[in-house]
Amino acid sequence: MLELQDAFARKFHYLRLSVTDVCNFRCQYCLPDGYRPDGRKTFLTLDEIRHITQAFATMGTNKVRITGGEPSMRRDFTDIIEAVASTPGIRKVATTTNGYRMAERVADWRSAGLDAINVSLDSLDPRMFHQITGQNRFHEVMAGIEAAFAAGFEQVKVNTVLMRGLNDGELGQFLAWIKSNPIQLRFIELMQTGEMDQLFERHHVRGAAIKEKLLESGWQQRVRAHNDGPAEVFWHPDYVGEIGLIMPYAQDFCASCNRLRVSALGKLHLCLFGEYGVELRDLLQHKGQQAALQRRLREALADKKATHFLHQGQSGMTPHLASIGG
């Protein structure tokens, strides 16, 4: 098997597959003005999703995270989960969601083959949640998390963008929440984008400072698995839950890169923070194109850079912080 490997000997066992750009939340750090539909866009079909998943699986990918936008906005979301989960070679299927449909549908997702779930939750205060997300759905999201446990998920990962002056004062509440609950609480460091420089200056909290506090308080870092996402994960003997830190500005953030992204329009993105995309959709139309598709994937990896350019203020196609929270 010819694995996906770049010029820096990094292997890619993890695919982040976007199935829609649509989102119904208006998070301050992502889509403060809400999603603006483009009638010209047609997102990947179920068959195209099958073809891309099969190609990656035959080249060593064993984990797929289904993302958006908000992936559950697709009416065929459960069918997408089933199609990905039934692909030979795929051992883990995850999704990242804002949680608003979880309470009623997460059991179906579990039955379809979903193994892991990340929920975006930026505050434990309903009023602050509303302020950050533009949606008064805090209690629905919390009910969805409970429903996930009832459906058989042993752990739920919760993505929180920590922002100074908004929710950074809730760190104690979050820690109390995970003390007796099997939740991996993942703090995502706010990124600077060209459109949100002022937001970054007002609200940025350094992930390194949080890491320092955790280590001083007896938290210990876990060893990463080969198909883990970008979080540094910490555990504490007095806590059932865990803490993850996603720090894209950390010096070695890209050294362990193991993931590629395919957009909802069928483009391969070699870096979650890059704008350039390699067109794949013309090779997703029938099974006979698999060899050509695999060849294009291998050739594209020759252009993957050693690191991102966030320190130069280039965040590429990823102003949506939930998309890095795998």
CA distances from 62 to 11, 92, 181, 249 (A): 12, 6, 28, 27
| 276 has binding-site annotation | no
Q: Would you say 69 is a known binding-site residue? A: yes
Would the annotation count 260 as a binding residue? yes
Rounded to whole angstroms, the Cα distance separating 179 from 192 reads: 32
Q: Which residues contact 123 (CB under 8 A, 6 or more apart)?
A: 129, 131, 132, 138, 160, 166, 167, 170
Tell me if 27 is assigned to a ligand binding site: yes
| 29 annotated ligand binder | yes
CA torsion angle 4 322 147 182 (round to 10): 80
| Integer angstrom CA distances of residue 139 from 24, 87, 108, 128, 196 | 16, 35, 21, 13, 29
Q: How far apart are CA 183 and CA 243, in angstroms?
A: 8
- Structure tokens that stand for 277 in this block: 């995309």
- Find out whether 271 is annotated in a ligand binding site: yes
114 carries a ligand binding annotation: no
254 assigned ligand-binding residue: yes
Residues 6+ apart with CB under 8 A from 302: 6, 7
**Is 257 one of the annotated binding-site residues?**
yes
Coil/strand/helix, residue 42: coil
261 annotated binding-site participant: yes
Binding residues for [4Fe-4S] cluster: 23, 27, 30, 254, 257, 271
Binding residues for GTP: 16, 65, 96, 157, 259-261
Binding residues for S-adenosyl-L-methionine: 29, 69, 120, 191
Binding residues: 16, 23, 27, 29-30, 65, 69, 96, 120, 157, 191, 254, 257, 259-261, 271
